[in-house]
A and B are shown apart, each in its own frame.
Chain A
Amino acid sequence: MTAAVEVFEQERRRVLRRRRAEALIGLLAFSALLALAFQRSEFFSADIGGDPLGRIGEFLARMVPDLKAEALLEDRQARGSLAWWYYDLPLWLRTGWQTVEMALIATTAGAAAACFAGFACARNLMPLAPVRFVVRRTLELIRTLPDLIVALILVAAFGVGPLAGVITLALSTFGSLGKLFAEVNEEVDPRPLEALEASGAGLARKIRYGVLPQVLPNYASYALLRLEGNVAAAAALGIVGAGGIGVELQRAITYTEFDTYLAILLLIVAMIFLIDIGSEQIRHRLIGLGAKR
């Protein structure tokens, strides 16, 4: 009995020792990496003034607009009014709408292409293995390319403007939705498909009456989720010249109008928030509908 306890205790000590050693090594590696990261990224570097917190405070003070309570509701000419802060609101709203348009077009185009890709690489619907392989690898390749690098190259090719942004977003939407749609396709209930096949339906009818009714709510839900992300991404793409409200952000920075930057930033936040709420409502209804059927 005591021998067994002795063996157990030895084993326990061994496990504990190993665990402590592992934790120590992990901690050391983490600290070394952290020190190196802060050193390489010049976070506390003295030649830009050191004192990161102080500089952040100074910057915040420059970003907050100089609003005056007594002049808040006056017109653009009055310093310190809301209208003075948002002095170019009509233009910002117009370019903001352009951003939304970019996201809508890109999401639709990307989702439409993804529909085909999703069928072409679903194991249960595409019998030709080489086609599946090629489509899958293509989608993977597109997903690994960072959006902004693609945007930069496309801006160089198509010139400054929303077109480059739309193509970028459509591509990345295609890459991510193609994979998701294929996964949805592979999870459909095979029984309706078998019934259709038994009654002599071809591939087109099998997809139309067997697959689509099952997958469409999921497709729409994924596409809407992607739309939310695309609105935010489209706003950012403007910064590299791809059109929309991001161009105005870039302009505010060029003229070092930090308070204007905050104004546009808040507008973008509100815009993304509104789109999110709308799309969330529709998505929840779609999923509810899917469950009822």
Chain B
Amino acid sequence: MTPADMDQALELSPRAVRPSWRDRVLRGLIGALALAALIAMAVDVGVTPTALAAGSGKLATFLRAMIPPNAGGELVRIVRALGETFAMAFAGTVLAAVAALPLGVFGAKSVVPQPLLHFGFRRVLDMFRGVPALVWALIFVAAFGLGPFGGVLALAIADVPGLAKLYAEAIENCDEKPLEGLRSAGAAPPVVLRYGLLPQVAPLMASQTLFFLESNFRNAAVLGIVGAGGIGFELEERIRIFAFDEVAFIVLLYVVCVAVLDTISQRLRARLA
């Protein structure tokens, strides 16, 4: 390409290389407005450099107090609390899976072909999929008293919409041919489901459920904060009395446990797939 070619190309489409001044000014203006809006919001909620500076000193003290981590002589209690947290996550996931199964079947397009019903059902699931477990836990603990019962329920309810959606998709995406084959061979509907559908969807569903178990164990710490017991309770107690060396110890142990569970679950999922 010679300079003459370049000139000709520029003449043909002058905006190919550099945008017009109008576009540039407009773009700058939109950027400046967005920035101004963001700063206004930050000031509105109190996110200012002074506030940041005021707390950072305290935060630095906290972080320094975390080293070295220390169990504070309560290792047994901490391990028990971790076990309780896992128990809540496991029980919650199983309950969620049991509840999500019929919902997932009902939500599958191949089972309920009526489009309006299908759409409405899915939308309702979508709406509640966003509600965090903590929001459920807060009211369940208030209603059912302190203890893990509310925590288990909260995890279960928070998971149901997401699991149901995944189950529905698993059923929708299955291959129709084995089912047709069984039907044409004269199999009864339960037999068609057992040998046509189940082998296709069960591994997928199991793997998705395991994935939810992982995430529930990771999130189950939040339950203790509102009084559902487990590791979150131990953590909150220690943050409240500024025992940050013990906080650091618990967080480290918890992170290790999460990593172990993730690895086991990943192995299981790899075998299922």
Contact = CB atoms under 8 A, between A and B. Distances in A.
Contacts of B41: 101, 104-105
13 contacts: A40-B148, A41-B84, A41-B149, A42-B148, A102-B45, A152-B235, A156-B58, A156-B242, A163-B51, A163-B55, A232-B131, A268-B135, A272-B130
A37 B47 contact: no
Given A232-B132, A235-B135, A239-B135, A43 B149 contact: yes
Q: Could you say which of B51, B56, B143, B232 has the most chain A C-beta atoms within 10 Å of its C-beta? A: B143
Given A249-B138, A253-B138, A161 B131 contact: no
A45 B90 CA distance: 17
Nearest to A261: B139
Contacts of B219: 146
Nearest to A44: B149
B221 interface: yes
B218 A146 contact: yes
B168 interface: no
A146 B235 CA distance: 12
Contacts of B45: 98, 101-102, 105, 161-163, 166, 243
Interface stretch (A48-56, A126-134, A215-223): A48-56
Interface SS of chain B: helix, strand, loop or mixed?
helix
A258 interface: yes
A37 B135 CA distance: 23
A98 B232 CA distance: 26
A235 to B, nearest CB: 7
Interface of B: 38, 41-42, 44-47, 51-52, 54-56, 58-59, 62, 83-84, 86-88, 90-91, 94, 126-128, 130-132, 134-135, 138-140, 142-145, 147-149, 151-153, 218-219, 221-222, 225-226, 232, 235-236, 239-240, 242, 244, 247, 251, 254-255, 258-259
Nearest to A250: B138
Interface in A91-133: 98, 101-102, 104-105, 108
A38 to B, nearest CB: 5
Interface of A: 33-34, 36-43, 45, 48, 52, 55-56, 59, 62-63, 98, 101-102, 104-105, 108, 144-146, 148-149, 152-154, 156-159, 161-164, 166, 228, 231-233, 235-236, 239-240, 243, 246, 249-250, 253, 256, 258, 261, 265, 268-270, 272-273, 276
Given A269-B131, A273-B127, A273-B130, A166 B47 contact: yes
Nearest to B93: A37
A162 B149 CA distance: 30
A198 to B, nearest CB: 14
B239 A273 contact: no
A261 B55 CA distance: 32
A154 B59 contact: yes
A259 B39 CA distance: 36
B127 A269 contact: yes
A152 B226 CA distance: 12
A244 B203 CA distance: 41
B138 A45 contact: no
B149 A42 contact: yes
Nearest to A243: B45
Contacts of B244: 153
